[in-house]
Every structure is written in C-alpha cells, then in structure tokens.
Structure 1
C-alpha cells in the first residue's frame, strides 16, 4: 500500500519545476529549481550564478511544487524537507535533466547549472478538491 511519502513523490514527478526555500544570513529566501525524483532523493538543478546553492548546500531546505496553474479540479501542493547536499549528478541523472531544454539565461546571466540532492526527512501533501468546475478569479483594483 502506498504511503503518503510515496504519493507525494509521485505527485512531484508530474511537474518539472518547484521552489527551494532556506535562509541566507538569517533571512528566508525562495529560489526556482528544476527537479527529478530518484529512488531515495530529489535532485535539484538551479542556477549557480545567483549563489543560492551555497546557502542550500549542507542546510535544511524545503522543496515545494504544486499543480496550481494546471486548471485541474484536484489541486495539490507537496513539500519535502531535509538536508540538501551539493552533488555531481550521475550520468543517468544528467541525461534526465538534459532531456528538457535548460534556460539560456537567468536574470540576464548565462545559465550555469549546479545540483543539490535532497533526501526528504518530512514530506507533506496538501490537496484541494473541487467537486464542480471552478473559475479562477484575480483581485482587481478600481481606478477612479
């Protein structure tokens, strides 16, 4: 029988991007990352030029992803928390990342990948189930 952790990691495989969260100089920050789920870990690829990998490597991080922009009726959010380690991906892991195009630039800098391996210690799944078609509404301001 699948566990909640198994379900969370399965959901994570259905989206390619998420956000890694930790703190740098005692201030929280969130950075985008591409991921794939391995047998016992989540491997993250992010841009080296921003330096965020230095704050993440060896630190407790939370990696989160969701399907909120999908238009599906059943929405979910997954959070995996554990210690991230800087890593060199295996040839198989590199091939998985290279199967999808990587960005040419990040914040006007040439993209330079760096990899982190996260072995989740805590995994949380949140679901929002809509029984009927939902309409996405955004807050609007009135100009007077």
Structure 2
C-alpha cells in the first residue's frame, strides 16, 4: 500500500490502532457525505461498524471510500491524522474475533436505536499528517 507522506503505511495502521472512532467519506446522490464509524484492523483491512439508519453502508458497497481518524482531541503535543482510501464492501457479519474487537454496539445514534451495519475496506493508499504543537504550548504570545 503506497504512502503519500513521510510516515510509512504501517505507521498509519499503528496510529489507527490507537483510536476507536473515525469517519468514512463517500458521495451520496453526487454530494459528499461523511458518517461516524467505529473501526478495527484485521488482516490488513479495516472493518467498520456504522449505523444502518444513515444508509451509508449501502452507498459505500463496492465503491471507493476514504476513512479517516485522528487524535485531535487527545491534548497530545504531537497530533496526527490518518486517511485510508480503498474499496469498501458490506459485510453481513464480521468474524467472531472482529466482533470481539469492535466491542459493544452503541445504544443510540441521532436519538434512534443503533442498528449495526458493517463495511470492510481494502486500503490502497494511506496518508498520515502530523502536527507538532509542543512549541505552541510552551511559547508565550505577546498581547
């Protein structure tokens, strides 16, 4: 899987393994669409847990999608963002080990009961961006 940043693709998977949630992006009726998803990494693929009520899983099935996650809310000095692009396919039921890694299903999404749907992404490209905020936290700004 080619990487488009100085950080190699294996690092993209390692970083994704540090967080549980991200966003899948596709187009729906010719308009950009993003949906929150929980992810796990299995056999070089990304398995997503989505809310069926959004309809995103059907739109993504067989198409090229982008999945992104980051640590922006972590308060860390080194912030990062990972983006994977590849083909997505609906999975009727993930393997037992994938389900165990995904953990419990959320209770509600946008006020309605969460109805699980699953996608498996075969990544083709990975991009990692990093932002070093350490100097920002330790510098004093003039008024």
Please classify the TM superposition score into its range, dividing by the shorter chain length. 0.7 to 0.9
Q: Match for residue 13 of structure 2?
A: 9
Aligned pairs for 1:1-144 within 5 A: 4-87=8-91, 88-98=93-103, 101-132=104-135, 134=137
The two structures have a TM-score, normalised by structure 1, of 0.86
1:5-64 deviation per Cα after TM superposition (whole angstroms, max 9, x unaligned): 100010000000000000011000110000011121010000011211111111110000
SS across alignment from 2:135: coil
Q: In structure 2, list runs of 5 or more residues that go unmatched.
A: 1-6, 139-143
Larger relative contact order (Cα-Cα within 8 Å, sequence gap ≥ 6):
2
CA RMSD of aligned residues (A): 1.4
Give the drift of 1:133.
5.2
SS across alignment from 1:121: strand
The two structures have a TM-score, normalised by structure 2, of 0.87
Structure 1 residue ranges (4+ consecutive) displaced by more than 6 angstroms after TM superposition: none
Partners of 2:10 and 2:43 lie apart in 1 by 11
